[in-house]
Structure 1
């Protein structure tokens, strides 16, 4: 690979990292894509729902979890999947963790799965976070940020961010910034009700 391509990839990764880190610092979210079924207002934690015709496929992300097991979004196709981007060093992530776990517990029997993406974190700190907040769903260990970068077509844009994937593996909704039970649960319910 040429040095020019390597530098270009490094620059793109740095820009994406800055955008993700800005979310944890409290910046407002950006407007959603044109054509989306927009309840998205622009502030952190607002919900952007995407009409089925405008949905983009999520990447086929795969990798090791914090426990060392192998996980893949492709293995979850056919289920509604909530993908939460988080890090132990992110204060809003600590605030939303109980809500995410509650929505997971209530919707797992209905066919929903959750998977976290622990972004740019130390593994022991991330494991301590999961123990402290009793997180029972798996998380990819994304120390180098490659899984986060794979979502470039519908980027999370911030830490924390949450994506809801429909049964076809397409992004049906995005929440940039910390979420709550009252924001996430109705979205998951709506996507679960789709046929």
Structure 2
């Protein structure tokens, strides 16, 4: 059930986490830049056909979260996934595409967090907004990504998430609570320790 855009729940911002993000995101990005020249563009976005987020973190208190996210869509392997099946599990959605510099910069951290939390039942899904299967698969091989991605070139998942994911604001990472509601969101490069804390809070039922 879609919640009207104007009735979006007001986010609770964690100033401590945002302060840490400002300090550490640049360090994380500079480390990645040595291995991947495209990552050097992640702080700008101008002329690169994406909107560079500032890494802002929004947390939504349990009492102010909207309705559970609802959609059904295909992964690149053709499997159909329905968000209703996620009830009882924390789910992380990362919106990305292969040529997006900050997506490349955060990829290995996302994989590391997936490995950390998969035994706790946390599910990770990429939501690729642009690439054909071969391009997405090459990215996943390059960065060692083992969790699946939706082929969202038709915008089905993005449309279901428009009240939380601004169009073209890629990357954006969303953490859903055990009821399938948006618990937190990062627009822009997801700094590892910040996302780690957001996932841990969701697992703990916060």
Q: What's the TM-score, normalizing by structure 1?
A: 0.77
Tell me, yes or no, if structure 1 residue 62 matches structure 2 residue 63: no
Supply the distance in 2 between the matched residues of 1:35 and 1:99 (Cα, whole angstroms): 28
> C-alpha distance in 1, partners of 2:96/2:132?
12
RMSD of Structure 2 on Structure 1 (CA): 2.0
Structure 1, unpaired ranges of 5+: 1-32
Q: Which residue of 1 aligns with 2:14?
A: 39
Task: Decide which of 167, 180, 197 is 1:186's aligned counterpart.
Answer: 197
Q: Is there any run of 5+ residues in structure 2 with no aligned partner, and where?
A: 1-7, 23-52
Matched, 1:77 2:87: yes
In 1, distance between residues paired with 2:184 and 2:170? 16
Alignment match, 1:164: 175
Distance 1:61 1:132 in 2: 29
Structure 1 moving runs of 4+ over 6 Å:
none
Cα distance change on mapping 1:153 and 1:58 into 2, 3 Å = farther
Partner of 2:126: 116
TM-score by length of 2: 0.73
Match of 1:137 among 147, 160, 163: 147
- Matched residues in 2 for 1:100 and 1:160: separation? 12
CA distance in 2, matches of 1:162, 1:185: 12
